[in-house]
Structure 1
Amino acid sequence: MSDNILPMNGSCRCGRVKIRIGAKPIITMACHCTGCQKMSSSAFSLSAAIPTEGFEVTEGEPVIGGLHGAARHYFCPYCMSWMFTRPDGMDFFVNVRPSMLADPDKFPPFVETYMSEKLAWAATSAAYSYDKFPPMEDFPRLMQEYAALPA
Structure 2
Amino acid sequence: MSGIEYLEAVLRGEKPPPPMGRLMGMELIAVEQGRVLFGLTPRARHDNPMGITHGGVAATLLDSAMGCAVQSTLPDGASFTTVDLTVHYVATVTRQTGPIRAEGRVLHRGGRIATAEGRMTRVADGRLLAHASTTCLLMLPAQAPADAEAA
Q: Mark yes or no: TM-score above 0.5.
A: no
Q: Pick the TM interval, shorter chain.
A: under 0.3
TM-score, normalised by the number of residues in structure 1: 0.23
TM-score, normalised by the number of residues in structure 2: 0.23
The structure richer in strand per residue is 2
Larger Rg: 2
The structure richer in helix per residue is 2
